[in-house]
Amino acid sequence: MSFLSYLIPFLIVLGVVVFVHEFGHFIVGRWCGVKVDAFSLGFGPELFAFEDSKGTRWRIAAIPLGGFVKFHGDANGASMPDPDQLDKMSAAERSVTFYGQNVWKRAAIVFAGPAANFLLAISLYTAFFAANGQIIHIPKVATVMPGTAAEEAGFRSGDIVLSIDGAEIPSFDKLFETVQVSAGKALIFKVLRDGAETELTATPRLHVTETLLGKAKTGLLGVQASADPADLRHERYGLVDSLGLAVDETWNVVARTYHYVARLAAGRESADQLSGPIGIAQVSGQMAQAISTVGVWPFFNLIAILSVSIGLLNLMPVPLLDGGHLAFFAIEALRGRALNERTQEYAFRVGLAMVCSLMLFSTYNDVARLIRKFAGLDS
């Protein structure tokens, strides 16, 4: 039962994200006149399948770690062309294949998968803001923790932060987000103190915290928000405002992800935050078990974050991923012709090796994290 309490939420979370991603490819492919041979959730042997009226085989497979859409004329679910099959086709049959479309249609079909992931996140966030609104903590300092960057900069209890480096700070959450990604960077704070504005300069310190997905390195200023009900307000939003907030929240996830990747590439961030299927299953199970106490939103929030992450991952310019296909199409559009088949084949092999290496490394992180947890080695 304990195993199932993690497995079932994992299948739901990953299944929703993968289905939406693949459905983006599928629906835009059909709009472009491409025949779809198969739509698969998972890889490997079929567990369940049926064929629709347009000849598409919808299947659920045994290995639930992804999915694929196989268009007519593809050699496999990665949309690699099958030259022998394409050469044998009539002009009419070739016209309904993926590679029978012009480069712009092919690019639209490929981009539709990640785009669908972003739209899923935006939809979930829109529903949340429209249904619940938002509790706004005004950016008022209740406590300045001793020995922190805030104390050194001269922050005082009662200060209200108006802006950071000229950017308006409407809430304590925005203050927190800005500081989080600014470890080691000197920030200029404009604060309201006793009715007058003043400027303070503070450099958030690097702070390491343990999260469900490993150690996270963030900036720490050293101030706590006011819990006084007078410093809180409950904002309600209509659909249009909720949509705007949802786009902002989705972009925040994107920005935090790119910030981490940039620091990782520069050697200023640890790779132990990368997580694979085991880590996702662990977090999914914990979020599902917490529904009775904190509600369903944290579970939906996990789906939204994972959806954005999958969308971003697939946009990386790595052969085999959607971003790799888009890079090939960009080259084709510039050259006026596609790269030769051998070059593409070698590139796909390199891409497969990179994707498998990333999967193995992230799984290693998950296993190592579990071992540290059960051995009591986490600090």
Active site residues: 22
Rounded distance, CA 379 to CA 371, Å? Answer: 13
Strand-pair category, 141-144 with 223-225: antiparallel
Q: What is the DSSP string of 49-98?
A: EEE-TTS-EEEEEEEEEEEEEEETTBSSTT--B-HHHHHHS-HHHHTTSG
Q: What is the DSSP string of 228-295?
A: -GGGEEEE---HHHHHHHHHHHHHHHHHHHHHHHHHHHTT-S-GGG---HHHHHHHHHHHHHTHHHH-
Burial track 135-155 (b if 16+ CB lie within 10 A, e otherwise) = ebbbbbbbebeeebbbbebeb
The Cβ of residue 68 has, within 10 Å, a number of other Cβ atoms equal to: 22
Place of tokens 């099958």: 82
